[in-house]
Amino acid sequence: MRRYDLTLSEYIRLSKPTHHERLLLFAQLLEALLYLKRHSIVHRDLKSDNLLICSSTGELVLADFGCALYQPPNLKQPYTTDEICKGGNLALMAPEIVMCQPGPKSYLDYNKADLWASGTLCYEFFSLPNPFFHGSFRQEIYCDQQLPSLLPLASPLIERLVHSMLRKNPKERPSVSCISNCIQLCLWFNSTILKMNKNDFYQAYMWTALETLFNKRTLSSVELSLKKLFCQRQSSQSLYEAQSYLDQLTA
């Protein structure tokens, strides 16, 4: 049985991963969130101590589901009284959850709450203090334009993606699926893909899918697993959505 012997902060401190390796870790977290969302589950206690990593492979798993909520079909929980628990980690709780007030028609919308929390954790993936956990930022009063930079430890495009995940208004955040696809595109393709037409873009994707099938030995176990998950769930629409979103962020 594989042993997940380090927390995220321990792994980052001891291993000093490259930019690519940090993205691999972040992509694994997003894949976990995507899996949970498909099963109408929200974790509600995301923090670095709950991200465990196998030091020998770099495989990341999400732990401690003590505060998790199963809320089908739409991850919206009625919030009629303040006795209803909002989750386990107030510091990294999404703004829409923190500021929600109880009432007969009120509900807690968790659709993009874990996504927001994972955006704050991305600072820790890149060896930076989490602005909402270690800093002076508060969910109720921060502005999108005030978010700290991740440069130069993260690339400009990754910084824009993270800032989009941390938009205060959940309606302005991308979906978990879109962000997960965007991060994987950043992992496996160079920046020229943003300027490709749809036909060339889809052809480049197909070559990547074939490479995943036939060049397994050139990939680590984590890379192979991520690529398989990425390729298995794609449609032309989801690919074009991710490409369009990346293009929008770099415009």
**What's the half-sphere exposure (Cβ side, CA atoms, 13 Å) at 247?**
14
**Is the peptide bond preceding residue 152 cis, with omega within 30 degrees of 0?**
yes
H or E stretch including 108? strand 107-109
Kindly list the catalytic residues.
Answer: 45
Q: Which residue intervals of 104-155 are DSSP H helices?
A: 113-125
Task: Name the β-bridge partners of 77.
Answer: 108
Question: What's the distance, CA 96 to chain centroid?
Answer: 18
Main-chain phi, psi angles of 51, to 5 degrees: -110, 110
Helix axes 198-214, 236-250, angle to 10 degrees: 110
- Gap between the Cα atoms of 103 and 47, Å rounded: 29
